[in-house]
Amino acid sequence: MLAIPLTIIIAIVSAFSFFIEGVRRDALLAADYYPDILIQQQVGGRTESLFFDRYDDVLKDINAIKSYYPRSWGYINHTDSKNRIKSFVVMGLDPEYISSGLFIDVAIEQGRSLREHDYNKAIAGKALAAAFDCTTGDTIEVTSPGLRKPVLIEVVGIFDTAVQIYSADLLLVDRQTANTILGFIDDNESSDIMVYLSNPAMAGMVASNLLKKIDGANPVTKSAMQSLTEQSFGQKSGFFHLLWFILLVNVMIIAWSLTSHISFSLRKEIGILKAIGWDTGDIMILKSFETLTIGFFSIIAGLIGGIAYMFSGAPGIKQMIIGWTDIYPEFPIPLYVNASTVFLIIILGIIPLLAGTLFPIWRIGAIDPDKAIRQ
């Protein structure tokens, strides 16, 4: 009676917990690779593409800046065999930046990385390669929303990184190719500029300097971006906290029902044990072992069920957790089993049950065995 609802509750909560932990961990890992300052261009309060030359003139004269790289990025669509449109990210970077160590650690699993003058060539994240059903040497047709003419891109490598959420659905190309795909006017245009400083602690000062020097510049510091990431996943983790609350409430309800509705068979069992010489304390120890065993195995079964659900693709909850507005990237679920979360699940699952088991025994223990057996 106790094992099944507990297993189901634990399975649901653990599935969400491990998923959100995984997403949060990936997001925070990605945040480590953010540039010290990201410069965007704002026009009329909107973020627009920028012209690199205009910024280059200013950036090269600021001593605190160690290096800076333009970046072009946007979304590409892909229609799968079931006629569903899926969105992926295309990112145009200079090859020297990819190999600089500043970009997220890229492990080429097949083929090679991008080189100088690799126009219309790309390295693809694993989820994107799977969606396009392509491997190295294949040519894929890429369309960006609003761009009428598709661009043919040769996949020269398949890559993987430690940060699934950031890279699995990514098509990495050189900036010129990205500009073509995204419909930018020329090579001088880019989405933003990544700025690296000699001393990252000066980010705030450099950012305000940039604000003064370039009209419409919107410099965002690394700490601001990290805070935004935290907020974004914090919002999702609000949902996660709600689930924890639901777990606690459900276990409390089970415990309460155990406490308030003492079954005849339990009452009789306690009466018989007392009649043959068991003390209330002995019965409480016996029942504690019983509850701990049932509770522990239910929790383990729930945890395994939760993990299995996540491995099966988490139907029903994946989009809710990892989607942004209407763009649902395709990447494997970043599952992360955190020991402290497992510990918390066990504690929150076991303690109310233990209380719910022991309290009625203590109550029945106070009455005569004959009454307990007869009632």
Partner 1 sequence: MIELTDIHKRYATGRHIVNVLSGINLTVDTGECVCLRGPSGTGKTTLLNIMGGMLSPTTGDVRVLQTSLTDLAHHMLSAYRRKHIGFIFQHYHLLEKLTVMENLLMPLIPCGRPLEPGKAKMLQLLERLQIGHRLTFPVHCLSGGEHQRVAVARSLMNDPNIILADEPFSNLDKDNTLFIVSMFKELKKQGKTFVFTATAQPMPWETDFIDRDIYYGSE
Question: Which range, of 11-19, 106-114, 150-158, 266-274, touches partner 1 by CB under 8 A?
Answer: 266-274
Nearer to partner 1, 44 or 277 (CB): 277
Distances (CA, A) of 214 to 40, 47, 208, 209: 11, 15, 10, 9
Q: Is residue 369 within the footprint of partner 1 (CB under 8 A)?
A: yes
Size of the site for partner 1 (CB under 8 A): 21
Supply the minimum distance, in Å, between the C-beta of residue 163 and partner 1.
Answer: 53
Supply the minimum distance, in Å, between the C-beta of residue 239 and partner 1.
Answer: 42
Nearer to partner 1, 152 or 366 (CB): 366
Q: Is residue 368 within the footprint of partner 1 (CB under 8 A)?
A: yes
Candidate list 274, 284, 306, 309; residue touching partner 1; CB under 8 A: 274
H/E run at residue 121: strand 121-125
Candidate list 133, 282, 319, 323; residue touching partner 1; CB under 8 A: 282
Nearer to partner 1, 174 or 269 (CB): 269
Q: Is residue 375 within the footprint of partner 1 (CB under 8 A)?
A: no
Q: Is residue 280 within the footprint of partner 1 (CB under 8 A)?
A: yes
Candidate list 278, 304, 354, 363; residue touching partner 1; CB under 8 A: 278
Q: What are phi and psi of 287, to 5 degrees?
A: -70, -30
Candidate list 109, 133, 215, 370; residue touching partner 1; CB under 8 A: 370
Supply the minimum distance, in Å, between the C-beta of residue 269 and partner 1.
Answer: 6
Cα(285)–Cα(272) distance, integer angstroms: 16
Q: Are 92 and 175 in contact (CB under 8 A)?
A: yes
Candidate list 204, 234, 281, 313; residue touching partner 1; CB under 8 A: 281
Q: Are 155 and 189 in contact (CB under 8 A)?
A: no
Q: Is residue 141 within the footprint of partner 1 (CB under 8 A)?
A: no
Candidate list 101, 277, 315, 316; residue touching partner 1; CB under 8 A: 277
Distances (CA, A) of 150 to 182, 183, 239, 334, 341: 10, 11, 40, 32, 46
Q: Is residue 36 within the footprint of partner 1 (CB under 8 A)?
A: no
Q: Is residue 242 within the footprint of partner 1 (CB under 8 A)?
A: no
Pairing of strands 65-79, 192-197: antiparallel
Supply the minimum distance, in Å, between the C-beta of residue 133 and partner 1.
Answer: 57
Q: Is residue 223 within the footprint of partner 1 (CB under 8 A)?
A: no
Q: Is residue 371 within the footprint of partner 1 (CB under 8 A)?
A: yes
Supply the minimum distance, in Å, between the C-beta of residue 264 and partner 1.
Answer: 12
Beta bridge partners of 72: 92
Cα(125)–Cα(111) distance, integer angstroms: 12
Candidate list 107, 257, 279, 347; residue touching partner 1; CB under 8 A: 279
Q: Is residue 267 within the footprint of partner 1 (CB under 8 A)?
A: no
Nearer to partner 1, 141 or 279 (CB): 279
Candidate list 152, 185, 276, 339; residue touching partner 1; CB under 8 A: 276
Q: Are 331 and 168 in contact (CB under 8 A)?
A: yes
C-alpha R_g of the chain: 29
Neighbouring CB atoms inside 10 A of 325's CB total 5
**For residues 243, 247, 250 and 252, what is the CA-based torsion angle, rounded to 10 degrees?**
-130
Question: Which range, of 36-44, 65-73, 244-252, 280-288, touches partner 1 by CB under 8 A?
Answer: 280-288
Question: Which range, of 4-12, 180-188, 276-284, 310-318, touches partner 1 by CB under 8 A?
Answer: 276-284
Cα(89)–Cα(23) distance, integer angstroms: 18
Tokens of 337: 């089993």
CB-based contacts of 121: which residues, under 8 Å, 6+ apart?
Answer: 114, 153, 154, 155, 156, 173, 174, 177
Q: Is residue 357 within the footprint of partner 1 (CB under 8 A)?
A: no
H/E run at residue 73: strand 65-79
Cα(352)–Cα(359) distance, integer angstroms: 10
Q: What are phi and psi of 335, to 5 degrees?
A: -80, 130
Cα(143)–Cα(132) distance, integer angstroms: 12
Q: Is residue 358 within the footprint of partner 1 (CB under 8 A)?
A: no
Q: Are 359 and 259 in contact (CB under 8 A)?
A: yes
What is the binding site for partner 1 (CB under 8 A)?
268-269, 271-282, 365-366, 368-371, 373
